[in-house]
Amino acid sequence: MGDPEIRVAIVEDNRDLRESLSQLLQNTQGLSCVGSFSACEHFLEELDVLDPNVVLMDIGLPGMSGIEGVYQVKSRRPDVEVLMLTVFEDDKKIFDSICAGASGYLLKLTAPARIIEAIREINEGGAPMTAKVARRLLSSLSGDAPTRSLEVMLTEREKQILAGLVNGLSYKMIAHECSISIDTVRSHIRHIYDKLHVNSRTQAITLAMKNRLV
């Protein structure tokens, strides 16, 4: 039996792009589009029923912004991964998205094949970003003085798993490296998020790098 399909929801107000993304997902083996919406409010009403693994989220939406939408999704369903897909590439929106709980950030000009790759990557524990966004995120860390007060909160196993996230390993790779199941990895990661007061992989990685936790 193969891996279960990755259930993807789309929140995008541009009708042509929304329909294009939906068709792309439906025509890609291993992925399914469980719903597409032009506004966060409508999507959030259906969130629990649709039960997506990954959400493609725009930022500039009518009504509730995509950044607030990420926060609402992660508050209600921390297990759901959110991948921002937007035209915005300014620092504030990037960081606001990450602070809200997004685990990845791509620009709308990204090639369809890379979007598909990023969906699979984020579902497996990655944090996909365009190169330009990643450089901006990393450069933002250079001026911060490290503090080590958070380190004592993590167990040795949690530090090992956090190091795996920082090094870009997927959940499967971390499970193999630690000789534990993927479900156990997910359980440890939930504990790490709770202890570090974050709600996404990207936030955990950023905090680990800032504070030199691993």
Model pLDDT for residues 169-203, shown as the tens digit of each residue: 888 888 999 999 988 998 898 888 888 887 777 77
> pLDDT class for 139, splitting at 50, 70, 90?
low
| 152, pLDDT greater than 60 | no
Q: Mind listing the pLDDT tens digit for each residue in 59-107?
A: 999 999 999 999 999 989 988 999 999 888 777 788 788 888 898 888 8
Structure tokens at 149: 């007060």
Structure tokens at 41: 């409010």
| 142, pLDDT greater than 60 | no
User: Which is higher by pLDDT, 142 or 30?
Assistant: 30
Whole-number mean pLDDT of the chain? 85
User: Which is higher by pLDDT, 152 or 3?
Assistant: 3
Window from 32-46, 73-87, 119-133, 143-157 with minimum mean pLDDT: 143-157
pTM value > 0.75: no
Whether residue 68 contacts residue 43, with contact meaning beta carbons closer than 8 Å, is answered with no
- The 3-state DSSP class for residue 90 equals coil
Window from 33-42, 74-83, 201-210 with minimum mean pLDDT: 201-210
> pLDDT class for 145, splitting at 50, 70, 90?
very low
> pLDDT class for 136, splitting at 50, 70, 90?
low
CB atoms within 10 A of CB 116: 19
pLDDT at 131: 67
pLDDT at 54: 97
| 29, pLDDT greater than 70 | yes
What's the fold here for domain 145-211?
Arc Repressor Mutant, subunit A (1.10.10)
Give the C-alpha distances (Å, rounded to integers) separating 22 from 8, 16, 17, 43. 9, 10, 8, 15
Whether residue 85 contacts residue 71, with contact meaning beta carbons closer than 8 Å, is answered with no
CB atoms within 10 A of CB 206: 22
| 13, pLDDT greater than 90 | yes
| 150, pLDDT greater than 70 | no
| 206, pLDDT greater than 80 | no
Backbone angles phi, psi at 84, to 5 degrees: -75, 135
Name the nearest CA neighbour of 4 among 93, 123, 162: 123
> pLDDT class for 212, splitting at 50, 70, 90?
confident
Domain boundaries, the chain: 6-139, 145-211
According to CATH, the superfamily of the domain at 6-139 is Response regulator (3.40.50.2300)
